[in-house]
Amino acid sequence: MHPTTHAEVAVLVLNWNGRSLLETFLPSWVQHTPAGADLIIVDNGSADDSVAFVREHYPEVRLHLFTENHGFAAGYNKAIAELDYKTVVLLNSDVELSRGWLDEPLRLLDSDPTIAAVQPTIRAQCDPKSFEYAGAAGGFIDSLGYPFCRGRLFGTLEEDHGQYANPTDLFWASGACLIIRRDVYLEVGGLDTIFFAHQEEIDLCWRLNARGHRITFAPTSVVYHVGGASLSAESPRKVFLNFRNNLLMIYKNLPAPRLHRVLLCRFFLDVFAAFVYLLQLKPRHCYAVLEGWRCFMIKRLRYEEVRRENIAKTVRPLPTSLMKPYSLLVQYYLRGRRRYSDLPQ
């Protein structure tokens, strides 16, 4: 790492009680943070010895300290507002970097002012040949609001054989490693703190796209993500946040009258998902889905003004290349299409 007083790029790692993750991944962050960028650990009020560990073993790494845990969304919002850089990287604390990972994203941002954000290739840290769930080769969304990725449909992950090694515009970029212009981030309001965690980056990207900005993919930039460091994939809490936040995102961003049709379809599909959890003897997961709907219905009453303001700032309808005109459920479960390349293009 090469610290600089006048860096234009900040690599921000949000940490909360993550001493073990810092021990594992901080060496790669230090090694692969290039000249012209500052690596900053944003500590979210950790109660463990994370801060002491960084100070003792990596005194060259900058610390930005909060006294309490603000969550993923508010933590990043607060840090980005307080730190003055041209470009910021939102980097999860369970991501391993590789040599030159920041080169292509910065080239893309410099080459075109309409590009607001960039995502690298995200592979699995435990299986470096395969794409990782949270982002893979860039994200899209289907007609009912279900997010998916090139290289990952639901739980099916592809190996990376270069099949998606082309720069392309995305609906959403993963919050595991998101390179974004700071001024645009602040302009659109940053991450929605109501979400607390999960899918808030998709909501952010929806706003970016709707307001005329572009999000693109940098295929030669590669990082390796563990995933589930905060909440495991099997956590009922994660199920709750994913269902609730996905509904909030749809309600906030999708114009009427399509909104009402989508929510009606989603109600029946989500009740069916809860029933499947019950058949799988996962009552807590079943409850999490239903609780997600209950909390959504309560929050939407206080969310109407946010929705109106957000829709009013929309400057373009999203093209079908980003928001797909088909149902991923139909394509995946009824037509047996398990790879992104098998889907209608």
List the one residue out of 105, 151, 141 whose CA is nearest residue 321: 141
List the one residue out of 301, 317, 78 whose CA is nearest residue 191: 78
pLDDT for residue 114 is more than 90: yes
Q: What pLDDT, on the 0 to 100 scale, is given for residue 229?
A: 52
Domain ranges across the chain: 9-225, 236-342
pLDDT for residue 4 is more than 50: no
Mean per-residue pLDDT over the chain, rounded: 95
pLDDT for residue 141 is more than 90: yes
Number of H helices, E strands in the chain: 11, 13
Q: What pLDDT, on the 0 to 100 scale, is given for residue 299?
A: 93
Determine contact, residues 15/43, Cβ cutoff 8 Å. Answer: yes
> How many of the other CB atoms lie within 10 Å of CB of 117?
27
Q: What pLDDT, on the 0 to 100 scale, is given for residue 3?
A: 44
pLDDT for residue 2 is more than 60: no
Distance in angstroms (rounded) separating the CA atoms of residues 113 and 45:
36
Percent of the chain with pLDDT over 70: 97
pLDDT for residue 330 is more than 60: yes
> pLDDT digit string (tens) for 288-308?
999 999 999 999 988 999 999
> pLDDT digit string (tens) for 128-140?
999 999 999 999 9
Model confidence at 109, pLDDT cuts 50, 70, 90, reads very high
Model confidence at 227, pLDDT cuts 50, 70, 90, reads confident
pLDDT for residue 145 is more than 90: yes
> How many of the other CB atoms lie within 10 Å of CB of 106?
21
DSSP string, 160-209: -SSTT-S--B-SB--TTEEEEEHHHHHHTTSS-TTT-SSSHHHHHHHHHH
> pLDDT digit string (tens) for 152-185?
999 999 999 999 999 999 999 999 999 999 999 9
Q: Which residues contact 330 (CB under 8 A, 6 or more apart)?
A: none
Provide the token pair at 135. 């982002």
pLDDT for residue 101 is more than 60: yes
List the one residue out of 6, 15, 19 whose CA is nearest residue 63: 15
Helix-helix angle 304-312:236-253, to 10 degrees: 50
Mean pLDDT of 61-88: 96
Model confidence at 226, pLDDT cuts 50, 70, 90, reads very high
Quick check: helix, strand or coil at residue 129? Answer: strand
Provide the token pair at 284. 């807590």
> pLDDT digit string (tens) for 121-130?
999 999 999 9
Classify domain 9-225 at the CATH class level: alpha beta
